[in-house]
Amino acid sequence: MARKSRDVQKIKIAVGQRLQGFRNHQGRTQEDVAHEADVHPSYITKLESGRSNWTIESLDNILNALEVSYSDLFHNIDESKNRIDNTVLIQIVKLLQGRSIEEQRKALQLIKALYS
């Protein structure tokens, strides 16, 4: 049985949006990340917009510059489902990791109070 063809462009766009989300959350510019990752700033622009293919080497350099893991980048990226950018949720979880259960509960109460 033949596998269903994947929409590579959607995956490129999703990866680009994730990279941009991580970069923006850190308050960093494309130029800053490009310099640290040893790539041209226009390459970052093209990656974030899904207009360029990435190599494993360039992606690895960018992820290292952003201090982001492959698992965080690719978590729940599935071209067959509706796109949801979980970048912010991942960052919230990272902020709460290592905190006491009491601190985690306080954070949950705060979030519930804001959105209830």
User: Do 68 and 105 lie in a common domain?
Assistant: no
Percentage of the chain beyond pLDDT 70 is 87
User: Do 22 and 61 lie in a common domain?
Assistant: yes
Which pair of tokens denotes residue 68? 């982001």
Mean pLDDT of the residues in the chain: 86
How far, in Å, CA of 110 to CA of 116, rounded? 10
User: Do 14 and 56 lie in a common domain?
Assistant: yes
Domain assignment present for 3 = no
Query: What are the two backbone dihedrals, phi and then psi, of residue 34, each rounded to the nearest 5 degrees?
Result: -60, -45
| Domain hosting residue 69, numbered range | 8-83
Label residue 34 by pLDDT band (50, 70, 90). very high
Asked if residues 102 and 34 have their Cβ atoms less than 8 Å apart, the reply is no
- Tokens 């640290």 locate to 36
Domain assignment present for 91 = yes
User: Do 93 and 44 lie in a common domain?
Assistant: no
- The model's pLDDT over 49-78, given as tens digits with 9 standing for 90+, comes to 999 998 999 999 999 999 999 998 988 776
Handedness of CA 46, 39, 84, 113 (dihedral sign): negative
How far, in Å, CA of 115 to CA of 1, rounded? 47
Q: What is the dihedral of CA 50, 28, 64, 13, to 10 degrees?
A: -10
